[in-house]
Amino acid sequence: MSDVKKVVLAYSGGLDTSVIVKWLQEEYQCEVVTFTADLGQGEEVEPARAKAQALGIKEIYIEDLREEFVRDFVFPMFRANTIYEGEYLLGTSIARPLISKRLIEIANETGADAISHGATGKGNDQVRFELGAYALKPGVKVIAPWREWDLTSRETLMAYCEKHSIPVDFSTTKKKSPYSMDANLLHISYEGDMLEDPWTEAESDMWRWSVSPEDAPNEATYIEIGYEKGDPVSINGEAMSPATILETLNKVGGANGIGRADIVENRFVGMKARGCYETPGGTIMMKAHRAIESITLDREAAHLKDEMMPRYAKTIYNGFWWSEERRMMQALIDASQEFVTGTVRLKLYKGNVIVVGRQSEFSLFDSSIATFEDDAGAYDQKDAAGFIKLNALRMRIAAQKGRSFLDKVKEPK
């Protein structure tokens, strides 16, 4: 008899998690609570209720978390201009800490002593879910069926459904796409099938959120994004909620062929993996945020953020959102955003996001000093001579002591 009495399962309503419900009931002989989150994946989540009820589930949680997701997870991450390995905007990674948080909160509410998820043993998500769970409830038991059972293929899952009379609509369980996909308001990802060959170009009909740059409109689209303390708050002068802003940018970005990426990334579990991503709204936000920072952030503050960003990105990618180091970095990042307020004007054209204007009441850009015209004495160019000599002093001393780079240059024959 299992010591697990009740478990909270992250439940999508699909084949895998429907099998997991029954498997938990059979293997652990425990009560199952299902939790289904709407993070803006573009699919109805309410049908999961009927599916869970058909499996005998009495406690069913279905929640719209779109605003919390963007406000408390996506926006804080974008304040840091976060990008993993130079290309990935962390669309999947940033959703996992919120799901972990709600799994633990629901476990506390329902008196459950375990949580469960459908992540496989090869990917990063198992790490992210479980690190978050342990950080928020150290003694919780985590059940990862893919690391325990012998169901290793779609065929074995289907056979399990038939054997245990799991109410799955077999006429609709054939995958609509050959790819493993994950979606939320920030992005949609594609992995598997032909993408497992990094030399093979992704099929044009794979992409769902964006037109190809070649098929994008021949005329540019102009938009203005308003910022307050590092977060976007309006589009074209219209105030919007965080989720609405990202949803709107996804639509306008996708219509202009923006946000596609084809990446081979280094997973935390040790392997390289190829994935394709569509992140139209995030791509626009990244460009816009850097633009407003360019006129409002002090030089050294901006450079410090840039130096810290790869560490911050790796922390999120690897699943350490709830760690002390992430919170420490977040405090520094948020402090830097005090004056990051203003408006950025962008031109969207055939896959490109082009900054064409930026303004702020807190701008540090001083045209009277930067001008190439007569600055009326605002900047004395003679001061530059001493500045340059002082910065050259250590190199001049080294050269005088015989440490000359010219000695290492071969004379031409």
Can you list the alpha helix ranges (DSSP code H) found in 37-153? 47-54, 66-69, 75-79, 96-110, 125-136
Distance of CA 265 to the CA centre of its chain: 14
Active site residue 147: no
Taking a C-beta distance cutoff of 8 angstroms, is the pair 10, 23 a contact? Answer: no
Q: How far is CA 36 from CA 33, 54, 337, 409, in A?
A: 10, 15, 34, 66
For residue 182, say whether it is annotated as part of any ligand binding site. no
Active site residue 366: no
Amino acid at site 186: L
Active site residue 394: no
For residue 391, say whether it is annotated as part of any ligand binding site. no
For residue 125, say whether it is annotated as part of any ligand binding site. yes
Phi-psi region of 134 (alpha: psi -120 to 50; beta: other; left: phi over 0): alpha
For residue 204, say whether it is annotated as part of any ligand binding site. no
For residue 13, say whether it is annotated as part of any ligand binding site. yes
For residue 134, say whether it is annotated as part of any ligand binding site. no
For residue 49, say whether it is annotated as part of any ligand binding site. no
188-191, strands of its sheet edge to edge: 180-183, 188-191, 272-278, 260-266
For residue 128, say whether it is annotated as part of any ligand binding site. yes
For residue 169, say whether it is annotated as part of any ligand binding site. no
For residue 16, say whether it is annotated as part of any ligand binding site. yes
Tokens of 413: 């024959």
Can you list the alpha helix ranges (DSSP code H) found in 179-298? 242-255, 280-296
For residue 120, say whether it is annotated as part of any ligand binding site. yes
Determine the Cα–Cα distance for residues 272 and 118; give it in Å rounded to an integer: 21
For residue 210, say whether it is annotated as part of any ligand binding site. no
Is 36 buried (19+), middle (13-18) or exposed (0-12) by CB count in 10 A? buried
Catalytic site residue from 180, 234, 294, 363: 180
What sign for the dihedral angle of Cα 220, 276, 311, 86?
negative
Determine the Cα–Cα distance for residues 330 and 133; give it in Å rounded to an integer: 20
For residue 368, say whether it is annotated as part of any ligand binding site. no
Catalytic site residue from 66, 125, 326, 336: 125
Taking a C-beta distance cutoff of 8 angstroms, is the pair 196, 274 a contact? Answer: yes
For residue 17, say whether it is annotated as part of any ligand binding site. yes
Catalytic site residue from 96, 260, 326, 358: 96
Tokens of 82: 């976060």
Residue whose C-alpha is closest to residue 83's, from 327, 312, 277, 245: 312
Phi-psi region of 83 (alpha: psi -120 to 50; beta: other; left: phi over 0): beta
For residue 92, say whether it is annotated as part of any ligand binding site. no
Active site residue 180: yes
SS3 (DSSP) at 36: strand
For residue 349, say whether it is annotated as part of any ligand binding site. no
Taking a C-beta distance cutoff of 8 angstroms, is the pair 196, 242 a contact? Answer: no
For residue 14, say whether it is annotated as part of any ligand binding site. yes
SS3 (DSSP) at 126: helix
Taking a C-beta distance cutoff of 8 angstroms, is the pair 112, 6 a contact? Answer: yes
For residue 342, say whether it is annotated as part of any ligand binding site. no
List residues bridging with 357 in a β-sheet.
Answer: 345
SS3 (DSSP) at 53: helix
For residue 124, say whether it is annotated as part of any ligand binding site. yes
Q: How far is CA 237 from CA 181, 224, 232, in A?
A: 34, 7, 11
Q: Which residues are catalytic?
A: 16, 96, 125, 180
Residues in binding site? 10-18, 37, 88, 93, 118, 120, 124-125, 128, 180, 189, 265, 277
Residues making up the annotated binding site for L-citrulline are 88, 93, 124, 128, 180, 189, 265, 277
- Binding-site positions for ATP read 10-18, 37, 118
